[in-house]
């Protein structure tokens, strides 16, 4: 049994749903109820459980053969204290000889720049509505934190999302 933790995966369910289609039972954990709601719709009939929880404090009796953080999620734990809490939670939930897998970005120097709002792309949502995505980024070099603001524009409404990552 695997567990997937992180922002982004629950939103799209990309890795969780792909693995569950191979009859692998997955538990997805995310702090965002709206992301989980959408992931549940996309994963209907698949062997996936979604849990709303904070990865630093998640507590379950279940143990997992693999825990992985998706979408560079490790870097959103900005302080040593947050990273320690995350790793302690992971260790508590791994089976003996289990694996903890995560990815990080190591950007080129040009990626650590301040950028005004620009168009990033578009997608069709679950209701068939075209959503335009744009955003900004600003880098705090003294704390080594990149801040992104993402805008999702449905035409009739705009949602704003903020994320920060440690570099």
State pLDDT tens for residues 70-110.
777 888 888 889 999 999 999 999 999 999 988 877 767 66
91 and 151 both lie in a single domain: no
Residues with Cβ < 8 Å from 54, sequence gap 6 or more? 31
127 and 49 both lie in a single domain: no
Query: Given 102, 119, 149, which residue is the final one in a domain?
Result: 102
29 and 46 both lie in a single domain: yes
- Residue 93: count of CB within 10 angstroms of its CB: 21
- Residue 43: count of CB within 10 angstroms of its CB: 20
Whether the pLDDT of residue 44 is over 90: the answer is: no
96 and 113 both lie in a single domain: no
Distance from C-alpha of 33 to C-alpha of 18, rounded to nearest angstrom:
21
Whether the pLDDT of residue 146 is over 80: the answer is: yes
Number of domains in the chain: 2
Domain span at 131: 109-166
Query: Given 51, 71, 102, which residue is the final one in a domain?
Result: 102
Distance from C-alpha of 1 to C-alpha of 63, rounded to nearest angstrom:
8
92 and 113 both lie in a single domain: no
21 and 88 both lie in a single domain: yes
CA-to-CA dists, residue 37 to 11, 65, 144, 145, 151, angstroms: 9, 25, 33, 29, 20
Query: Given 71, 102, 133, which residue is the final one in a domain?
Result: 102
14 and 49 both lie in a single domain: yes
Q: What is the per-residue pLDDT for 86?
A: 92
48 and 86 both lie in a single domain: yes
pTM of the model: 0.70
Q: What is the per-residue pLDDT for 154?
A: 94
Q: What is the per-residue pLDDT for 130?
A: 94
């Amino acid at each position: 049994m695997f567990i997937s933790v992180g922002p982004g995966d629950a939103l799209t369910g990309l890795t969780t749903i792909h693995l569950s289609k191979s009859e692998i039972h997955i538990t997805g954990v995310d702090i965002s109820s709206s992301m989980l709601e959408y992931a549940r719709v996309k994963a209907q009939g698949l062997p996936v459980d979604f849990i709303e929880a904070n990865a630093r404090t998640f507590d379950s009796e279940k143990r997992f053969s693999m825990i992985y953080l998706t979408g560079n999620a490790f870097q959103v734990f900005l302080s040593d204290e947050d990273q320690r809490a995350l790793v302690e939670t992971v260790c508590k939930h791994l089976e003996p000889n289990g694996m903890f897998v995560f990815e990080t970005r190591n950007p080129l120097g040009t990626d650590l720049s301040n950028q005004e709002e620009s168009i990033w792309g578009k997608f069709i949502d679950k209701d068939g509505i075209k959503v335009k995505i744009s955003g900004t980024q600003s880098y705090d070099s003294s704390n080594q934190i990149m801040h992104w603001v993402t805008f999702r524009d449905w035409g009739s409404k705009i949602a704003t999302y903020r994320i920060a990552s440690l570099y």
